[in-house]
Structure 1
Amino acid sequence: MMGQLDSGQNKLFYSFNLDNHVPQTHLLRGIDRALDLGDLRQHLAPFYSPIGRPSIDPEFMIRMLIVGYCFGIRSERRLCEEVHLNLAYRWFCRLGLDDAVPEHSTFSKNRHGRFRDSDVLRHVFESVLGRCMAEGLVRGEGFAIDASIIKADASRSSAVPGTDPIDWGPTAKQSRAVREYLQALEESNPVASDAAESAESSTPPKMISLSDPASSWTAAPGGPAFFAYSTNYLIDLEAGIIMDVEATPANRSHEVESTKTMIDRVEQRLCLKPARLVGDTAYGTAAMLGWMVEQKEIAPHVPVWERYARKDDAFSTSEFKWNETANEYRCPAGKALRSERRQFKNSRTHVTKADTIIYRSSQLDCAGCSMKERCCPKTPFRKVTRSIHEAARDEARRIATTSAYKQSRRERKKVEMLFAHLKRILKLDRLRLRGPSGAHDEFLLAATAQNLRRMAIRLMARDDKSEIATA
Structure 2
Amino acid sequence: MQGKKTYQEKLFNSFRLSERVPQDNFYRLLKGVLDLNFLYVQTKSYYGGSGQKSIDPVVFFKLCLVGYLENIISDRKLIQHCSMRLDILYFIDYDLDEELPWHSTISRTRQLFPESVFEEVFTKVLSMCIEKGMVSGHTQAIDSAPIKANASMDTLELKVPEEDLQAHLRKVRVFSSMDKETPHRKSKDDKSDRGQRIVTASKKELGAIQSRNKKWSTDQDQRPGSGNKGSKYTSNKTHYSPTDPDARISVKPGKARKLNYLSQLSVDTASHVITDIRAYHADGKDNQQLPDIVERLHKRLWQQGLFWENCVADTGYSSGENYAYLEQKGLRSFIPPHGTYKGGPDGFIYNREEDYYQCPQGKIIPFTKAFNDYRTGTKKKEYRARKHVCVACPMRSSCLGKSAQEKKFSVTYYRAEYERNNARVHSPQGRYMKGKRQSTVEPVFGTLTQFMGLRKINTLGLKQANKVMHLSAIAYNLKTCLPAGRST
| TM-score, normalised relative to structure 2 | 0.80
1:419 to 445, 451, 456: 445
Name the structure 2 match of 1:305: 338
Shift, 1:123, TM fit: 1.4
Tell me which residue corresponds to 1:107.
106
Among candidates 279, 299, 303, match of residue 268 of structure 1: 299
Separation (CA, whole Å) in 2 of partners of 1:366 and 1:208: 52
My pick for the range that moved more, 376-385 or 387-396, is: 376-385
What corresponds to 2:156 in structure 1? 159
Question: Cα distance 1:363–1:103, how it changes in 2: closer, same or farther (>3 A)?
Answer: same
CA distance in 2, matches of 1:74, 1:332: 63
Inter-CA distance 35–334: structure 2 relative to 1 (3 Å threshold)? farther
CA 87–5 in structure 1, closer or farther in 2 if over 3 Å, else same: same
The corresponding residue for 2:19 is: 20
Is the alpha carbon distance of 1:437 and 1:157 closer, same or farther for their aligned partners in structure 2, counting shifts above 3 Å? same
> How far apart in 2 are the matches of 1:199 and 1:382?
43
1:17–1:264 distance in 2 versus 1, CA, 3 Å = same
Preserved contact between residue 82 and residue 89 of structure 1 (Cα < 8 Å): no
Please name the residue that 1:435 is paired with: 461
User: C-alpha offsets along residues 323-363 of structure 1, whole Å, 9 cap, x if unaligned?
Assistant: 122110112222211123xxxxxxx6556553101112344
* CA-atom RMSD in angstroms: 2.9
Distance 1:323 1:435 in 2: 51
Q: Which residue of 1 aligns with 2:353?
A: 325
CA distance in 2, matches of 1:197, 1:150: 21
Whole-Å Cα distance in 2 between the matches of residues 205 and 64 of structure 1?
Answer: 39
Q: Residue 477 of structure 2 corresponds to which residue in structure 1? A: 451
Change (3 A) 1:324 1:69: same
Contact 2:28–2:90 (8 Å) recurs in 1: no
- State the match for 1:244 in structure 2: 276
Which amino acid is the alignment partner of residue 2 of structure 1? Q
Q: Distance in 2 between matches of 1:450 and 1:407?
A: 25
Worse-matched range after superposition: 18-27 or 411-420: 18-27
CA distance 1:52–1:82, change in 2 (3 Å): same
Cα displacement (A) at 1:438: 2.0
SS in 1 for 2:456: coil
Residue 3 of structure 1 aligns to a residue in which SS?
coil
Counterpart of 1:326 in 2: which secondary structure? Answer: coil
Identity of aligned residues (%): 26
Kindly indicate whether the alpha-carbon contact (under 8 Å) linking 2:197 and 2:240 is maintained by their aligned counterparts in 1: no
| Aligned equivalents of 2:307, 2:407: Cα separation in 1 | 42
State how far apart, in whole Å, the 2-side matches of 1:49 and 1:434 are: 26
Instruction: Tell me, yes or no, if the aligned pair for 1:399 and 1:405 is still in contact at 8 Å.
Output: yes
Q: Out of 350, 358, 373, which is 2:382 matched to?
A: 358
1:74-131 C-alpha deviation (Å, 9 max, x unpaired): 1100111111111121111111111110110111221222x12x73211111111111
Instruction: Note the C-alpha offset of 1:34.
Output: 4.3
Aligned to 1:5: 5
SS at match of 2:482: helix
Offset at 1:196?
A: 5.3
Q: How does 1:63-102 map to 2 (within 5 A)?
A: 63-102=62-101
User: Does structure 1 conserve the Cα–Cα contact (< 8 Å) formed by 2:370 and 2:379?
Assistant: no
Shift of 1:261: 1.9
- 1:347-383 deviation digits (Å, cap 9, x = unpaired): x655655310111234443343344465444544433
Match in the other structure for 1:35: 34
Partner of 1:382: 407
Q: State the alpha-carbon separation in 2 of the partners of residues 401 and 283 from structure 1.
A: 17
Alpha-carbon contact 2:310-2:331 (below 8 Å) kept: yes
- Residue matched to 1:44: 43
Q: Say whether the 8 Å CA contact 1:36–1:128 is kept in structure 2.
A: no
Match of 2:290 in 1: 259
Do the aligned partners of 2:367 and 2:383 also contact (CA within 8 Å) in 1?
yes
Measure how far apart 1:35 and its partner are. Answer: 2.2
